[in-house]
Amino acid sequence: MNPRSFFGVLVDTCGTCGGIYFDEGEVSQIRARGGDRAFEELDAIVQPAPEYFNLEENLHRRCPNCLAGMHRFRYMYTSPVFLDSCESCGGIWIENGELTKMKNYLAAAKTAPKPELTPEEAEIGATIDALSIERHEKANSAHRFARAISYYPWE
């Protein structure tokens, strides 16, 4: 991994595959400083080595920061883009080209007509959103607790 400063944020990039690892909070920092086009620029700057051939698709990744297993998830639930996140330290791994794919997906979603949901579908969506928020809050609480415990001087 190669550290690279981008809009004043130090991100880790892979010179072999062109992937980018964002520590928790770095995505929002870059967006705040560089706007939406910042990610397209970053995606264009970080490129895989010419001899690189991707054989890793669908493999379970290890977090470059803490080496914990990463969780693969579909960006925005319905997009064709899959990302990897670390539940242990909160980082996100984004493969080469995925930042641009994410931007294109969001642009297409803004112009696409919204489908009418049945009341059951709307209720299921609300339940999924609530569970996702609850899971995220529990993970954040666990991280804060673990950090507090790790600083406690055990004797």
d(CA 83, CA 102): 10
Q: DSSP E strands: which ranges in the chain?
A: 2-6, 9-13, 20-22, 71-74, 82-85, 92-94
d(CA 110, CA 10): 31
The strand pair at 71-74 and 20-22 is best described as: unpaired
Give 123's contacts (C-beta < 8 A, 6+ positions apart): none
Which residue type does 70 have? Answer: M
3-class state of residue 88 by DSSP: coil
Tokens of 87: 């539940």
Which residue type does 85 have? Answer: S
**pLDDT tens digits in sequence order for the chain, 155 residues long:** 899 999 999 999 998 889 999 999 998 899 899 987 888 899 889 998 888 776 655 567 889 999 999 998 988 888 889 999 998 999 999 999 899 898 888 888 888 887 788 889 889 988 998 888 888 888 877 777 676 665 555 45
